[in-house]
Structure 1
Amino acid sequence: MPPARAVPIVIGVGDIKNRSQKVEDAIEPLNLMLHATQKALEDTGLSTSAAKELQSHIDHVGVVNTWTWLYPDLPGLISDNLGIKPKFKVLSHHGGDSPAKLFDEAARRISLRQSKVAIVTGGEALASCELGSCAAAGKMPPPGWTSPDESGTAVSVSDLSSRQQGLGTLHSIGLPIHVYPLYENGFRAHRRQSVEQNNKESSELYADFAKIAEENELAWNYGQPAATGEIIGTVSKKNRMICFPYPLLMNAFNNVNLAATCLLTSTEYAKELGIPEDRWIYPLGGAGTSNAANFWERPNFYSSPAISRSLDEALKVSGLAKDEIDVFDFYSCFPIVPKLACEHLGLPITKQNKPITLLGGLTSFGGAGNNYSMHALTAMVRELRKGKVQRGLVLANGGMVTYQYVVCLSSRPRGSPYPDRNPLPDLLTKDPAPEIVEKAEGGAVIETYTVEFNRDGTLSRGHVVGRLKNSNHRFIANHGDENTLKQLASATKEQIGRDGWVSTTGDGRNLFVFNNSGKL
């Protein structure tokens, strides 16, 4: 007869912030993660010798893939530095869902007695390295950093050339700054909001987030006066429009040096070590799935089936109703993600009676690459330990509204064994997209859109997702003339649902115009 399942718990959490951007102070992601792991070990409250004993039993190392640096074997390097030889070494894919997914997998392995002690960790040093002081000083790699893996491919959030986007690459669309606005505009039109109402809602939402980050000492913007809704919603030299309708302060800020670690084990081993029960926080369950990788192959642009299904199934496997959650942390690279989550759960988007972020959002807390939600998990553990609330939920989002993972935690245990699997498939296929036409010709209607701006505030390029009138097939297009571009950029008139004409050019691109002459 197999032994009874173990009960997984979080016994330690640790966060590190290296605010200095001086070259001599640059700390590589590997060492930031090691510092965060040491903090998590200290957070158990054990003596130094007992913490060392605990460290020696770490047999699962889950690592969120870092944007900052190319490592040949990051889980192996962490293990070597900790002096351990784990049975499981896991490196995530690139996606902001990774912290929650790794956390759920670690809890499951402990429950199944495949693992005794697990860490999940991640970190970035983008402020010091890729985007910051070292690059500016021409000192790459910074002194003392691990030699990079030359065979790897760097991650860029601002370069389409390295992305296999097909139609997206042809039309210069596919980055986060493009795709999330497509959803915001689609969501606004679906709810029959005006552009002004939508901007006010986004501004209020992010102003509330900024106030939380202002008081969160782990946030990148800690101690700095929080931007008001008026500042966030007003386009200015310091808050230029990136892609309509999002100015800079509604975009994720990734230029940070942050790391975090969660340390998990079983209730049995925690008792053996003498870790007080008031340090224990119980993972209840998790679930995650993804929408189609290509945004144009999704059913619509006003909802995310992956967000909805991940929320529903995580609650279900955790044995909870949505009303039983006391505190949430919704991923918030752009306002649309927490909006979609709130809409699905029936929560107000502004003026909530329950927190929907503990950190302050990716603009004010800091984007932390793929690792933002690891900080949400550590913050959730601390919040639940206070005893004022009992249950929390973390929604981690990755890609272009693509990958989703949700986990629930509590200060009290489940009444049954931890779920033995993620109940959702890797990819949702139930709700297919309309048929896609690569070369579009004829009368058309705008389904959603965005406009890209230059750094000086001038208009750069219009992006249209539309439907052909004669077939209802979907297409992607760019603006076809300056008049169309100016109309798309209107901050007063709704463009979704407007008629126009689409034609294919010699280079294979589709161009959309607001006329019915059939000529571009």
Structure 2
Amino acid sequence: MATGQKTPIVIAIGESKNRPQKVEDAIEPMQLMLQATLNAVKDAGLAATAEKELQSNIDSVSVVATWTWPYADLPGLLSQKLGIQPQHTIYSEQGGNQPMKLVDEAARRIMKAESNVAVVTGGEALASLSAYKTTKRMPPPGWTSPDAGVKAASPLKISNFGKSIGTLHSIGLPLHVYPLYENAFRAHRGQSIEQNNTESAQLYAEFAKVAEHNHFSWNYGQPAPTAETISTVTKNNRMICFPYPLLMNAYNKINLAGSCILTSTEYAKELGVPENKWIYPLGGAGTQDSDSFWERPNYYSSPSISRSLDACLEISGLTKEQIDVFDFYSCFPIVPKLACQHLGLPSTKSPKPITLLGGLTSFGGAGNNYSMHSLTAMVRELRNGNGQHGLILANGGLLTYQHVVCLSTRPRRDGSAYPDRNPLPPYVTDVLVPSISAQPEGEAVVETYTVEFNRNGAPSKGFIVGRLTRNNHRFVANTSNTRSLEQLSSGTREPIGRTGWVKSDDLGRNSFVFDDPSRL
């Protein structure tokens, strides 16, 4: 290790959960993050004087962008509440990859001696915000006044994405795009629709059991739903977008925050942080696929996931076999399935843990911050002797952004410094993507699809990603008649690979039918 380079370690973790009995007791995201950070300071296991020194020497505050509330300067406000004046303050971009990206970058600054003590934190109060909206008391009393110049961050409206091929056909939300991948992944593996549903339900039943016993889970202590409950469409488990019923979708109405504190081994020794608290980040890597889901190479794999996993393992000096504990992001079943397939792990009944939290359905989908809770759980797991090496996969967007971090009870095996850069480029660009036809016409084949359902359980809109037979160009379309919508949503016959016809109207909207091109 070169002179002046330091070894970064995670020395402390903290969480906070707010389940108020009365809506007026609900607190804002900043307050949740403050509590989590103060809990982390306590977690370092220091005497009172050293604890104060640790807090006062925080010189880097990185905050994961919150969906809940528009702050003018959340890192600055949090720093003020902590009584510190950090030289580095970072407010992340949107994306569930951001917690691990911020941890990776904080470790890098510590290695370079650009920072001495770094806090990475994030939190949401979406449950409280929803409750306040119901009572029509906005802004909530006691919360920081919203900044009029800051737009609410939640990306859950099609209108937020501007005009595109996707929005023209009312598709582009996570609840639409992840099902496109699940359906294509199923067909690629030769699974039946029933087999796929059983697999997803078993995966999420195993995850729910983990969340049932996780003290920081939003559903802690509540009986975990069974695989049969998760797989069966009912009034309380209605189909959202095929093939995912409600219990296979992320649940965001939570009030949770998580924080971690990083420093160098040198400063940890100076403070007197017990070495059984030390967890070593070994390396991180991340990249992203195209922002436009129709510009992806296929829908049964994710180059950004596979490359981020491989690059992080390589830069951390580990093989996949040496990882004892995994935590894969799990907003929908397809994400852990893709990670497991790439690493050669079974997605159900895995011999190694693939979640420490229980997934965004059962643990709670903490906005962009879910993987910060993965890190706090991983640190706890490694401290408790349940493995030597751990790996966290953080995913964001529409299976778009990825960042992976490896952690260990021991420093890097070759004694080298923490990697000084992300080994991957910002975007995956060296993959073949089919030509896109904005206004297709003629015979076509279904590449993948999903169907959106009404609250009454009836299919409302079909979405097709298809290929023109004559030139293999890709297009996005909607089903144009009831019969085609019924065939797409039947859940019995596999639509992928079936032939139909597509046509574009004067506004550029594309319609698809299975049986009779005269119905276009």
TM-score for both structures, normalised by structure 1: 0.98
- Matched-pair contact (CA < 8 Å) for 1:22–1:133: no
Aligned to 1:369: 367
Aligned to 2:97: 97
Deviations 1:179-221 (A, max 9, x none): 0000000000000000000000000000000000001111001
Q: Which amino acid in 1 is paired with 2:416? A: S
SS of the residue 2:335 aligns to? helix
Equivalent position to 1:155, from 144, 150, 153: 153
The answer to whether structure 1 residue 27 and structure 2 residue 27 are counterparts is yes
Q: Which amino acid in 2 is paired with 1:84? A: I
Aligned to 2:439: 439
Aligned to 1:299: 297
Aligned to 1:428: 428
The answer to whether structure 1 residue 36 and structure 2 residue 23 are counterparts is no
SS of the residue 1:365 aligns to? helix
SS of the residue 2:141 aligns to? coil
- Matched-pair contact (CA < 8 Å) for 2:481–2:519: no
- Matched-pair contact (CA < 8 Å) for 1:21–1:127: no
Q: Which amino acid in 1 is paired with 2:158? A: L
- Cα pair distance change 1:2/1:186, threshold 3 Å: closer
- Matched-pair contact (CA < 8 Å) for 2:19–2:26: no
Equivalent position to 2:238, from 237, 240, 253: 240
Aligned to 1:45: 45
- Matched-pair contact (CA < 8 Å) for 2:70–2:153: no
Deviations 1:240-279 (A, max 9, x none): 0000000000000000000000100000000001111011
C-alpha displacement of 1:21 = 5.8
The runs of 5 or more residues in structure 2 that have no matched partner are none
- Counterpart Cα distance in 1 of 2:321 and 2:115: 33
- Counterpart Cα distance in 1 of 2:493 and 2:189: 15
- Counterpart Cα distance in 2 of 1:431 and 1:403: 16
- Counterpart Cα distance in 1 of 2:391 and 2:160: 34
Equivalent position to 1:224, from 222, 225, 228: 222
- Counterpart Cα distance in 2 of 1:388 and 1:478: 49
- Counterpart Cα distance in 2 of 1:156 and 1:419: 33
Deviations 1:326-370 (A, max 9, x none): 000000000000000000000001110000000000000000000
Aligned to 1:81: 81
Deviations 1:38-85 (A, max 9, x none): 000000011222111111111111100000000001111111111111
Aligned to 2:270: 272
- Counterpart Cα distance in 2 of 1:333 and 1:290: 17
Q: Pick which of 507-516 and 487-496 moved more.
A: 507-516
C-alpha displacement of 1:494 = 0.6
- Counterpart Cα distance in 2 of 1:227 and 1:388: 26
Aligned to 2:471: 471
C-alpha displacement of 1:507 = 2.7
Aligned to 1:411: 409
Aligned to 2:348: 350
Q: CA RMSD in A?
A: 1.1
- Matched-pair contact (CA < 8 Å) for 1:443–1:516: no
- Counterpart Cα distance in 1 of 2:479 and 2:316: 47
Aligned to 1:7: 7
Q: Pick which of 165-174 and 199-208 moved more.
A: 165-174
- Counterpart Cα distance in 1 of 2:151 and 2:167: 18
C-alpha displacement of 1:25 = 1.0
Q: Pick which of 292-301 and 382-391 moved more.
A: 382-391
- Counterpart Cα distance in 1 of 2:400 and 2:302: 8
Deviations 1:267-313 (A, max 9, x none): 00000011110110000000000000000000000000000000000
Equivalent position to 2:186, from 185, 188, 197: 188
SS of the residue 1:378 aligns to? helix
Aligned to 2:508: 508
Aligned to 1:328: 326
SS of the residue 2:59 aligns to? strand
- Counterpart Cα distance in 2 of 1:456 and 1:519: 27
Aligned to 2:486: 486
- Matched-pair contact (CA < 8 Å) for 1:175–1:400: yes
Q: Which amino acid in 1 is paired with 2:465? A: V
C-alpha displacement of 1:519 = 4.6
The answer to whether structure 1 residue 145 and structure 2 residue 148 are counterparts is no
- Matched-pair contact (CA < 8 Å) for 2:464–2:478: yes
Q: Pick which of 459-468 and 73-82 moved more.
A: 73-82
- Counterpart Cα distance in 1 of 2:432 and 2:260: 37
Q: How does 1:448-459 map to 2 (within 5 A)?
A: 448-459=448-459
Q: Which amino acid in 2 is paired with 1:425? A: P
- Matched-pair contact (CA < 8 Å) for 1:165–1:174: no
The answer to whether structure 1 residue 128 and structure 2 residue 128 are counterparts is yes
- Matched-pair contact (CA < 8 Å) for 1:201–1:350: yes
Q: Which amino acid in 1 is paired with 2:448? A: T
- Matched-pair contact (CA < 8 Å) for 1:165–1:294: no
Aligned to 1:495: 495
The sequence identity of aligned pairs, in percent, is 66
Tell me the number of residue pairs that the alignment of Structure 1 and Structure 2 aligns: 518
